[in-house]
Amino acid sequence: MRIFFAGGGTGGHLYPGLAIARALVRLDPTARPFFVGAHRGIERTVLPDAGFPFELLDLHPLYRSRVWENWRTARGLASAWRGIGRLAAAERPRMVVGTGGYAAGAVLAWAAAHGVPLALQEQNSVAGLTVRGFSRWARAVYLGFPEAAATLHANGRRVAMDTGNPIEPPPTPRPDRAAARARWGFPERGGLVLLVFGGSQGARPINAAVAAWIARGLPDDVHVIWGTGRAQFDAYAGHESARVRVRPYLAPIADAYAASDLALARAGAMTTAELCAWGVPMVLVPLPTAAADHQTANARALDAAGAAVHLPQGQLDDSRLDDLVRALAADPARLDALARAAVSRARPDAAEAIARHLLTLAGRRAPG
């Protein structure tokens, strides 16, 4: 049973598809996911090691600020259409699963035009252009945030399912927090461990504020695990100390989640889904230039749910960070309330739930 997965450009669109595909294969070994992505997206470096067959096409986004370059988008769409046709001629897919981003549009359009059932997964609290546009033809739209339903086409709202975002769930049983702290060289009990990260590339405003905060002197009994991003590591590596661990990239990040009492991070959908699953309270600093400002919508939704503190990037500096961390460290009841609200939003089994529903749509029975 061949299923096309379309989505990429960024990890936020690609990794959900990979999580669903792995869950599908675990549930039904006859399922054969096939990924279609863009030459210029992150999939060119991730998919070769992901364990699934794939094809990369000459796909481009809409160039909204450089409209004169949209000839690339049109040319790429025409060549991609032919490429998708060749892939389908070899073996017609039973279904197409789109996870958003410009890399998904051509494949979803081909599926809609050829009567191939399609399903969508939307990561953010505001549906992206691709998911909004194709939700009218979808058999199911799996939502990372229930708030996204209001931004879909009317037909998409009828078939929307609040599944949460597909992530790698925390292990069972959970790692022991005292042991996790010890592995980082921190005291096993007491104080507060703050996790700081901004994705694989890091977040310059967050890094700058954290560096200035450390330079002025950390609050007593506060320890920091800081993922700077590979490109920025050399600039901040010198801040390593007995109470600060500086890493270019946190992999596996589970070791950091297990040790942390609070996180300072961007408000990407997959980041927040993982933090909710681990029950880590969040201070979220949305990327203000994210498409349609979707990270701000994510942060506001989690703040309103009591699972996070929304801190706009324009308000972030070492003084504001110091005040906020001191206030939270001195208020265990609020930290606990944030953690409980985060867990209430968590859907650690989302990938399996989505995979089971996809098998049902495809006429297969999932075990159990």
Domain boundaries, the chain: 2-168+349-361, 177-345
pLDDT of residue 249: 87
Quote the CA–CA distance of 174 and 23 in Å, as a whole number: 20
Quote the CA–CA distance of 261 and 192 in Å, as a whole number: 6
CATH class label, 177-345: alpha beta
Query: Minimal CA–CA distance to 352: which of 29, 20, 68, 73?
Result: 20
Range in 20-24, 77-81, 123-127, 258-262 the model is least confident about: 77-81
pLDDT of residue 121: 98
CATH class label, 2-168+349-361: alpha beta
- Are β-strands 2-6 and 95-98 bridged in parallel, bridged antiparallel, or unpaired? parallel
Mean pLDDT, to the nearest integer, of 87-111?
Answer: 92
**41 has pLDDT over 80:** no
- The pLDDT tens digits of the residues spanning 313-351 come to 999 999 999 999 999 999 999 999 999 999 999 999 999
Query: Minimal CA–CA distance to 8: which of 63, 54, 67, 64?
Result: 54
Mean pLDDT, to the nearest integer, of 250-266?
Answer: 94
Range in 6-10, 39-43, 191-195 the model is least confident about: 39-43
pLDDT of residue 241: 97
- The pLDDT tens digits of the residues spanning 196-251 come to 998 767 799 999 999 999 999 999 999 999 999 988 999 999 999 999 999 998 87
Contact 26, 45 (CB under 8 A): no
Contact 282, 305 (CB under 8 A): no
Mean pLDDT, to the nearest integer, of 95-115?
Answer: 92
Mean pLDDT, to the nearest integer, of 287-308?
Answer: 92
pLDDT of residue 61: 62
Quote the CA–CA distance of 190 and 188 in Å, as a whole number: 7
**171 has pLDDT over 80:** yes
Q: Between 310 and 85, name the one with better pLDDT.
A: 310
Q: Before 117, cis peptide (omega within 30)?
A: no
Q: Starting from the edge strand earliest in sequence, which strands make up the sheet with 140-143, in order?
A: 54-57, 32-38, 2-6, 95-98, 118-122, 140-143, 160-162
pLDDT of residue 58: 72
Run of H or E including 50 = none
pLDDT of residue 76: 55
pLDDT of residue 65: 59
